[in-house]
Amino acid sequence: MIMLRFEIICKDFSMFLCCLLCLLIGFSKRANSVNFLAPSCENVTYSPNTTNSPFRTNLNFLLSTLSSNASRTNGFYNSTALGRGNDPSNTIYGLFLCRGDLSVDVCQQCVASASKRIIQECPNQKGAIVWYDECLLRYSNQYIFSRGDALVRLRLSNVQNVTESDAARFTSLLENLMDKIQNRAANDLSGKKFAVEEANFSAFQTLYTLAQCTPDLSTVDCDSCLSNAISVLPTCCRNRVGGRVLYPSCNIRYELYRFYNNSVAPAPAPPPSPPPPPLPPVPTTSSSKGSSRTIIAIVVPVAVSILLLLVGFIFLIRRSRKRYDAIVEATDASQFSTPESLQYSLSLIQAITNNFSAENKIGEGGFGHVYKGTLQNGQEIAVKRLSRSSMQGLEEFKNEILLVANLQHRNLVRLLGFCFEGEEKLLIYEFVPNKSLDCFLFDPEKQHMLDWSRRYKIIAGIARGLLYLHEDSRLKIIHRDLKASNILLDRDMNPKIADFGMARLFGADQSAATTKTIAGTYGYMSPEYAMHGHFSTKSDVFSFGVLVLEIVTGKKNSSFYQSDGAQDLLSHCWKNWRDGTPLALLDPILGNSSARNEVIQSIHIGLLCVQEDVDERPNMASVVLMLSSRSATMPTPDQPAFFARSKTESFPREFQFDASTSNSMPASVNETTVTELYPR
């Protein structure tokens, strides 16, 4: 039937081309209307449930303000509707965010649809979000501006899988692109906090990625929101050809087709995929009527079948592109809103660790042994069994746990909960499958598993995690014992910082910037901390610098011997830097195939961080910025602190540990692990 109509309409080739064009335009037109994804309604409802209740009246006002302003902004607008008669219980906060590549028209259209839809989907709620392909609209009776909200998320995964043979390469390419756009979006100073990036996956396939935050977030909040979103990808979208994670404050997406506006793509546009088949040659008008008829008789059916195939193909592709598994879920962050929800029963932990059996033991640290277990829901956990027990009161402890548990970042080991029963004191952490960084870095058998690009990613990951600890909007946390054995590696060898927040849990003085308890680890301590007990975020920066130099050289600072007279790693690095031979420092196992610039840049950053003058050391925000923009100009490092100029001159070991507080800081000297955090 369709065939028949085509034979009638497509009498000649100009008509045929016209048909083709119309069909293609028809397809792309359809893709232009806005596309609803999902709602998320809060459970709190308002009353009375009528269209003229004060809350509803105010909400209508807010929504109309938002949609009318959609034509006048560059994709983001926030607004507050004060309760009538200054009744704060009816005040509503609202915002919308349009995808960064869209024109004002599309944004306006989306916000208009969304403000109708949000009332339909959540007719009676005090807070709601609707997600579209093109925009997000949100209102709440709570203040929602300038904060990275991660209480709910929507995740979508394309039902199609990458072929098995391509899976590893696909994941690695995706990871690379995600790292890039996370950096670029968080540091986007254009006022949009938006980034897209693409890369060739195969000769025919290009991977497209996008990241965006609401522009009212700070760089750190945007970075950590995106970081959370990216860490969800392995759960929702492993090996899927497309996926999205959408939080109220940020979102990421990747596809094997171009889903964002061409004009914002940074790289020159690659050939479109799928490539259109070549069109049949158009006969010239000079040919006789008769011969042209025969040509038409032969070519038209062929062309029509090609056209039908093409249309069918496009249709199938479009359909498969649109098939997603969508899940709106409350996130872990919202589950952990009460101290009670963090509490695990001793009997449960005993059951899943075989009563702390030797087979379940996976390590021991400064605070006690660590055991592995698996919860009923399949989640693997690591249980730290604290060896000494003098701690602060249970209520205080619970509050501190809540604070530390709410620190969520891809590059931090997550604290899931605790168990305090009788003599047992347990901390429950997420399980991180690979061992700590030192097990790879300093082990001749395993060193080769960390090639340069992996090491560079580890450096960047640690920097991000540390930045989050230092500049998270609620707490300012100084780790105080950053070292290779406190960096755990996940399944994909991404770094996660462990053992932060311990001092807070152990009731150490949280406000003093000076402490008599010198309790870091030999080789990583900054001179001012080791000698005078002064600590600050810059003492962490120093430890980070040592760690970077260890990662580049594959050598341990604390047990360093070199024939060139240098007695510690820092002097060795400094000498080579000064002599213009920084590449000689590179771990020989990496050969010289590595990216020269990245190596030199890392050594440069490492040396900046270990400078003796505290003020000269960069803060972590600058470090992250230096790592993300290769072209950034960096200051010249000064000579590093040689506080351990010779073995005999180094401070005595007893000094590292103050006996008066040892009851609350259990550990052998070598393993001493104390972390400090205090409110800003």
Residues catalogued as catalytic: 481
Contact between 223 and ligand NAG (CB under 6 A)?
no
- Shorter beta-carbon distance to ligand NAG: residue 156 or 432: 156
Contact between 134 and ligand NAG (CB under 6 A)?
no
191: left (phi over 0), alpha (psi -120 to 50) or beta: left
| Cβ partners under 8 Å of residue 551, min gap 6 | 437, 441, 455, 458, 459, 602
Query: In angstroms, what CA-CA distances link 229 with 214, 250, 284, 472?
Result: 14, 8, 57, 17
- Given the structure tokens 């965010």, which residue do they identify? 97
Q: Applying CB under 6 A, which part among 55-63, 99-107, 488-496, 549-557 lies near ligand NAG?
A: 99-107
Q: What's the CA gap between 374 and 360, in Å, rounded? A: 10
| # of chain residues touching ligand NAG (CB under 6 A) | 27
Q: Select the residue interacting with ligand NAG from 149, 216, 255, 490 (CB under 6 A).
A: 216
Contact between 343 and ligand NAG (CB under 6 A)?
no
Structure tokens, 212: 């965006």
Residues 234-293 that bind ligand NAG (CB under 6 A): 261, 263, 267, 270
Q: Return the exposure string of 286-308: e unless at least 16 CB atoms fall within 10 Å of the residue's CB, then b.
A: eeeeeebeeebeebbeebbebbe
Query: In angstroms, what CA-CA distances link 283 with 277, 292, 293, 528?
Result: 18, 7, 10, 85
Closest separation in Å from C-beta 79 to ligand NAG: 4
Q: What's the CA gap between 195 and 187, in Å, rounded? A: 10
Nearest to 456 by CA among 183, 168, 153, 86: 183
Contact between 79 and ligand NAG (CB under 6 A)?
yes
Closest separation in Å from C-beta 185 to ligand NAG: 17
- Shorter beta-carbon distance to ligand NAG: residue 331 or 536: 331
- Given the structure tokens 């006048």, which residue do they identify? 72
CA angle, residues 57, 59, 61, in degrees to nearest 5: 75
- Given the structure tokens 């002097």, which residue do they identify? 571
- Given the structure tokens 């130099």, which residue do they identify? 549
Contact between 102 and ligand NAG (CB under 6 A)?
yes
Taking residues 144 to 173 in sequence order and writing x for each that binds ligand NAG by CB under 6 A, - otherwise, the string is -xx------------xxx------------
- Shorter beta-carbon distance to ligand NAG: residue 63 or 674: 63
Q: Select the residue interacting with ligand NAG from 40, 78, 113, 251 (CB under 6 A).
A: 78
- Shorter beta-carbon distance to ligand NAG: residue 32 or 345: 32
Q: Select the residue interacting with ligand NAG from 24, 199, 391, 566 (CB under 6 A).
A: 199
Q: Select the residue interacting with ligand NAG from 14, 33, 35, 49 (CB under 6 A).
A: 49
Closest separation in Å from C-beta 330 to ligand NAG: 7
Contact between 198 and ligand NAG (CB under 6 A)?
yes
Nearest to 437 by CA among 552, 518, 537: 552
Closest separation in Å from C-beta 189 to ligand NAG: 16
Residue 384 is labelled as binding a ligand:
yes
Contact between 60 and ligand NAG (CB under 6 A)?
no
Contact between 124 and ligand NAG (CB under 6 A)?
yes
Contact between 590 and ligand NAG (CB under 6 A)?
no
Q: What's the CA gap between 34 and 36, in Å, rounded? A: 7
Q: Looking at beta carbons, which residue is closest to ligand NAG?
A: 103
- Shorter beta-carbon distance to ligand NAG: residue 104 or 391: 104
- Shorter beta-carbon distance to ligand NAG: residue 329 or 396: 329
Structure tokens, 97: 């965010």
Q: Select the residue interacting with ligand NAG from 43, 376, 377, 646 (CB under 6 A).
A: 43
The single-letter code of the amino acid at 46 is: Y
Q: How many CA atoms lie within 13 A of 516 on its CB side?
A: 5
CA angle, residues 216, 221, 226, in degrees to nearest 5: 105
- Shorter beta-carbon distance to ligand NAG: residue 60 or 69: 69
What's the distance, CA 394 to chain centroid? Answer: 33
H or E segment at 571? helix 569-578
Nearest to 55 by CA among 128, 124, 121: 124
Annotated binding site for ATP: 384
Annotated binding site: 384
- Chain residues binding ligand NAG by CB under 6 A are 43, 45, 49, 65, 68-69, 78-80, 102-103, 106, 123-124, 145-146, 159-161, 198-200, 216, 261, 263, 267, 270
